[in-house]
Structure 1
């Protein structure tokens, strides 16, 4: 059996699972392969592919070009980049792994604090031999808005409460009772954007949420507000956000996720002084990788026994 592990940017995948126990040939791809033809070439002969989250897309047309693929393992418990119906048609089993929400909640707060205290500029000044460059913003008594109050949004809310922030939230089906369970006040979508000093996005990407944060929503925000996105890039209209940041109609953005990943080297986000950028590392911790790659090995071993586990269905 040949196994291909994709998008191992840090070259650590083999350190986080007992791959030797599988008795397989393993090829690790440490760079992102965006070109479909090159991806087909690199995956030739692989019966098993391990995909890291949604870094590599597996649409129907690509799956049709991988006749030897029998098992596709996706780290995490959902993957919008895999056409599950097409995989089923081609007889490809798709298995998932476990996940930990805490690291992304922690990283959300790393971004909030970095933006509020202008850390990128201060760190750069210190490296260059300088000293203070600006004035930060305190969080106590401010309003934290959650666009989505699921498991992750609720964790972010609880940390905001520990900072002494008021917490409000909106999503399409959020009720006042559900929000109150987390000490959060449910508000209208309009109020969420108008009242938030920090607005953090915690929705699953879908047709309903794609572009949900657009020009109208951004224009309703306070000129001092911080927008944080550790969910999925396309939930926020990229062009509208660039326009708002260039016009300084919101204070800052703190972003971990993008429409195109890896973020192109010449992307305008990289040039804006009022943006804090990280390279989609909200979930990239030792603890999460132990779950991802440990479960991936278990998925493959189960498939080898003819008893696949954690199977994802259309």
Structure 2
């Protein structure tokens, strides 16, 4: 049987050119779909014919109700080895194999640092002013000698901590699972939760989204921060209470925020975070790099070939 293979969530229409999909010609036909998430009925009609679906991270939700409707689906492939938008238990019950891929580990920390530096030095406003014929709009901030607070010292948090150290920053960290010993191994000072928010000149969020971390950066935590402090979030939007953050930014209780993630994605056109002058916002591009996409799609192809041969790899269920 010739498989019908869908590559969805390809919003930028780049999937077809980052790897060589022709190696699958003997297995099936590949279709590239780059529509944004849509209503369930349209999604069901669009995906009904496919036995294999390749998804990009958490852009589309495959819950039990949707999976039950996709009666042809046999294999679901995702970028990365974690995808909270996929109901693995339902997929298993329906006989759908789910496989993942490795990730390029440097894309997210590099974007985090780019946003942090751009926000600190007011680069977007200065660049836009120059394009408009103006010159030198204000004073940029400094990093050397300042305190970088890391909320979540996992692999990405540790990399961002290293960047901070290279720039001469004092680096502190806290999370519920972090110990002083683990922090010391990374050359980072362990502090309490309130101390983290109080002392940070720049606070960078690097937690995994869970019920424990959801809303962790709430109104109280934000109230502990210095009025001249900056917040950077490239982890997951719901970790930060968006309403509380917007209020703090509007009222001058926080100097600025650089955000790559949001509670609702894509961000609605009239959302305040699109328009606040002290916000630098990007459309969830922390993992959107050429090398990461090449790794995702190349390994999806490997996953498909292995599954077709009866020996699935990088299984998630």
Global fold match (TM > 0.5): yes
Distance in 2 separating the partners of 1:62 and 1:258: 24
Instruction: Name the SS for the 1:133 alignment partner.
Output: coil
Could you give the per-residue CA deviations for residues 272-310 of structure 1, whole angstroms, max 9, x where no partner exists?
A: 000000111111111111100000111111111111110
Aligned partner of 1:2 among 4, 20, 31:
4
Shift of 1:34: 2.5
| Paired positions, count | 313
Match of 2:201 among 197, 201, 207: 197
User: Counterpart of 2:153 in 1: which secondary structure?
Assistant: coil
Aligned partners of 1:303 and 1:248: how far apart in 2?
54
The residue aligned with 2:40 is: 36
SS at structure 1 position matched to 2:124:
helix
1:168 partnered with 2:168:
no
User: What does residue range 291-306 of structure 1 map to in structure 2 within 5 Å?
Assistant: 291-306=295-310
Aligned to 1:185: 189
Matches within 5 A, 1:41-190: 41-190=45-194
Cα distance in 2 for residues equivalent to 1:11 and 1:121:
29
**Structure 2 equivalent of residue 232 of structure 1:** 236
Note the residue ranges of structure 1 that are not aligned, 5 or more in a row.
Answer: none
Instruction: Determine if contact 1:18/1:297 at 8 Å carries over to the other structure.
Output: no
Q: Which runs of 4+ in 1 moved over 2 A?
A: none
Query: Aligned partners of 1:49, 1:191: CA distance in 2, in Å?
Result: 46
**Mean Cα deviation higher: 115-124 or 182-191:** 115-124
Gaps of 5+ in 2: none
- Within the candidate set 4, 19, 22, 2:21 is matched to 19
SS in 1 for 2:69: coil
Are the counterparts in 1 of residues 76 and 97 from structure 2 also a CA contact under 8 Å? yes
Give the root-mean-square deviation of aligned CA atoms. Answer: 0.9
Q: Report SS of the residue matched to 1:88.
A: helix
Map of 2:216 onto structure 1: 212
Q: What SS is found at the alignment partner of 1:82?
A: coil
Task: Look up the SS of the partner of 1:64 in the other structure.
Answer: helix
**Deviations 1:145-202 (CA, angstroms, capped at 9, x unpaired):** 0000000000000000000000000011111110001110110000000000000000
Deviation at residue 21 of structure 1 after TM alignment: 1.4
The CA distance in 1 between the partners of 2:166 and 2:310, in whole Å, is 48
Deviation of 1:123 after TM superposition, in Å, equals: 1.3
> What is the SS of the residue equivalent to 2:61?
coil
Deviation at 1:220, TM superposition (A): 0.6
Counterpart-to-counterpart distance in 2, 1:26 and 1:259: 32
SS at match of 1:144: strand
In structure 1, C-alpha distance between the alignment counterparts of 2:312 and 2:157, rounded to whole Å = 32
The offset of 1:38, in angstroms, is 1.1
